[in-house]
């Protein structure tokens, strides 16, 4: 049947099972929005306050549900406002399809009003960027975009459609996209055998889990693999929830703000098994000293990750779920009781701790965990509060911590929370934010109110840019350049002005009461939590240092005596 380009866009979204899109309209994309209006009972549109919020919401929706997130924007500044959100998804391998519309084909390349080469702009931060100048190619391009976003290592794809293409007609025939199977069929059996041999030869193995294990849906296979290997487990920020944070084998996060148990254990192990992690500099510290006593076995779907940041001894390329399944079939039960006891001793000797009796970020996160019984989706912004959310909430399931790991995007969390709650309406969704980050995209609180999305915004308010100040305090002789935010902004009044409920907590008891009330309210709530400006994230590894040199507040006091 003959349909115009805008109708083809909507029909293709319906083909892909899209039930929600996030966006902001404008002149160039009006034809698509007009068609979207006609299908509003089939595809829900969330009108965000800013296009960046739409991109983050699509990202949060994708992370929470495992589906492809979709965002829409018009040409020019509408399209460029998506860029930070697209880059965030790219760095964390999140499947998002961003659809923009541009000026008509005859006006391209002529500096027309609100024209930008958004396909060119986003080329380095997408898996693929399309511009569709022929309506006859539109349907196939959209289908291809969704396949690319999901296949192999996931990531964002951009489709730019000139306005006249959305008006022209073409023959459209519905297609069934089928079920995409992520698992590689061509896993090298020799690589699997070599990996199994390395594990059996090891006396002190350690397993390091990254976000790839979550994207693969490999939690069940991972747990079996850990138990067969009889090894302790650490994770990256992106890997949280792939392996249960309540399991006795779990040692906490690895790296700059990882636990001493994890950092010391990885520094002493004789085999490091890396499952879907990319050796971020925030994990490795000084690469010359990282896991220096260990052979390194890396499992990843992307061959480009092999030997990229750290030289490895053996790699297995393939979907993590499929690789672990194969390893579990051939690996005999291992026994490393002595090694496991040593790591357990580290856990007992070096627990995470914070100042008691006063309101702090760690207390807030632990109280959220207690009141939700760990059954919640946590989104975060970027900074101290992000690290506390990673350290003090015990993630037992995948897709329950949504955070910007690779790009470190301030302003990510609130949009992501809206996307997550939209995709998982039965889940409690809390965004843990810093006051500096909340300022970035606080306008999305109005989005939550407008669409009745009951997210809870917890602002850890220290009136400074906390993580930057921490570095200034420790490494810049307390020169607090441009990091003090002491002004007259009242976040409680701001929340109320946007139609949300606002509360303030200055003590532990006040936060307990406020959060309990927020959980019961069923509407968007902001809690402004006042903490000390000099609270820090511990432990810490200095930039460029070895992770074995992790230090905490007590170590610093003893050093300065």
Active site residues: 51, 113-114, 163, 467
For residues 10 and 25, give the distance between their C-alpha atoms in angstroms, rounded to a whole number.
Answer: 15
Q: Length of the chain in residues, anyone?
A: 561
CB 206 within 8 A of CB 193: no
Question: Which two three-digit tokens encode residue 384?
Answer: 């101290």
Q: What is the dihedral of CA 49, 53, 59, 63, to 10 degrees?
A: -80
Specify the 3-state DSSP secondary structure of 445: helix
- Phi/psi of residue 182, each to 5°? -70, -25
Half-sphere exposure of 398 (CA within 13 A, CB side): 23
CB 384 within 8 A of CB 433: no
Identify which of 28, 297, 302, 264 has the alpha carbon closest to the alpha carbon of residue 155.
Answer: 302
Bridge partners for 274 per DSSP: 208, 298
Residue with tokens 């009889």: 230
Where do the H-state alpha helices sit in 129-218? 138-150, 163-167, 189-201, 212-215
Cα angle, residue 422 at apex, residues 514 and 157 outer, rounded to 5°: 130
Specify the 3-state DSSP secondary structure of 410: coil
For residues 236 and 376, give the distance between their C-alpha atoms in angstroms, rounded to a whole number.
Answer: 20
Residue with tokens 């703000």: 257
- Is omega for the bond preceding 522 within 30 degrees of 0, making it cis? no
Residue with tokens 């992307």: 302
- Determine whether 341 is exposed, middle or buried from the number of CB atoms within 10 Å of its CB (0-12, 13-18, 19+): exposed
Identify which of 421, 424, 484, 482 has the alpha carbon closest to the alpha carbon of residue 447.
Answer: 421
Which whole-number Å values give the CA distances from 245 to 198, 262, 373, 486, in the listed order? 26, 13, 13, 36
Residue with tokens 């350690």: 206
- Give the DSSP H/E element, type plus range, for residue 314: strand 314-317
For residues 107 and 43, give the distance between their C-alpha atoms in angstroms, rounded to a whole number.
Answer: 31
């Amino acid at each position: 049947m003959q349909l115009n380009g805008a109708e083809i866009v909507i029909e293709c979204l319906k083909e892909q099972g899209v039930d929600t899109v996030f966006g902001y309209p404008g002149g160039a994309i009006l034809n698509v929005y007009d068609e979207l209006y006609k299908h509003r009972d089939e595809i829900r549109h969330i009108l965000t306050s800013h296009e960046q919020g739409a991109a983050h919401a699509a990202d949060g929706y994708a992370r929470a549900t495992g589906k492809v997130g979709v965002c829409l924007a018009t040409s020019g500044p509408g399209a460029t406002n998506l860029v930070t959100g697209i880059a965030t998804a790219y760095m964390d391998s999140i499947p998002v399809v961003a659809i923009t519309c541009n000026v008509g084909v005859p006006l391209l390349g002529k500096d027309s009003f609100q024209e930008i080469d958004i396909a060119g702009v986003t080329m380095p931060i997408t898996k693929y960027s399309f511009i569709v100048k022929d309506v006859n190619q539109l349907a196939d391009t959209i289908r291809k975009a969704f396949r690319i976003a999901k296949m192999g290592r996931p990531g964002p794809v951009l489709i730019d459609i000139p306005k006249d293409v959305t008006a022209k007609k073409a023959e459209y025939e519905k297609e069934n996209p089928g079920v995409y199977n992520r698992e590689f069929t061509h896993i090298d059996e020799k690589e699997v055998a070599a990996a199994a041999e390395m594990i059996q030869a090891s006396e002190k193995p350690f397993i390091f889990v990254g976000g790839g294990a979550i994207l693969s849906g490999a939690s069940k296979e991972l747990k079996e693999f850990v138990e067969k290997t009889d090894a302790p487990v650490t994770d990256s920020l992106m890997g949280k929830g792939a392996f249960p944070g309540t399991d006795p084998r779990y040692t906490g996060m690895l790296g700059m703000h990882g636990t001493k148990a994890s950092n010391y254990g990885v520094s002493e192990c004789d085999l490091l098994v890396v499952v879907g992690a990319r050796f971020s500099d925030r994990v490795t510290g000084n690469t010359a000293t990282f896991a220096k006593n260990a052979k390194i076995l890396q499992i990843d779907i992307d061959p480009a990750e092999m030997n990229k940041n750290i030289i490895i001894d053996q790699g297995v390329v393939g979907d993590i779920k499929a690789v672990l399944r194969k390893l579990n079939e051939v690996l005999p039960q291992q026994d490393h009781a002595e090694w496991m006891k040593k790591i357990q001793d580290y856990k007992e000797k070096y627990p995470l701790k914070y100042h008691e009796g006063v309101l702090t970020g760690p207390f807030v996160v632990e109280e959220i965990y207690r009141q939700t019984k760990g059954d919640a989706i946590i989104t975060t912004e970027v900074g101290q509060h992000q690290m506390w959310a990673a350290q003090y909430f015990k993630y037992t399931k995948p897709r329950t911590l949504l955070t910007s790991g690779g790009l470190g995007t301030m302003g990510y969390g609130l949009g992501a929370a809206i996307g997550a709650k939209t995709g998982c309406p039965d889940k409690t969704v809390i965004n843990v934010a810093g006051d500096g980050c909340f300022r970035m995209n606080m306008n999305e609180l109005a989005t939550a109110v407008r669409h009745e999305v009951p997210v809870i915004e917890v602002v850890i308010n220290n009136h400074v840019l906390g993580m930057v100040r921490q570095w200034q305090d420790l490494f810049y002789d307390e020169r607090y350049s441009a990091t003090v935010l002491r002004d007259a902004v009242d976040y409680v009044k701001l929340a109320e002005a946007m139609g949300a409920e606002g509360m303030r907590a200055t003590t532990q008891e006040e936060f307990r009461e406020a959060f309990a009330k927020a959980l019961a309210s069923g509407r968007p709530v902001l809690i402004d939590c006042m903490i000390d400006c000099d609270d820090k994230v511990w432990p810490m590894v200095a930039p460029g240092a070895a992770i074995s040199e992790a230090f905490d507040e007590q170590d610093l006091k003893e050093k300065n005596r």
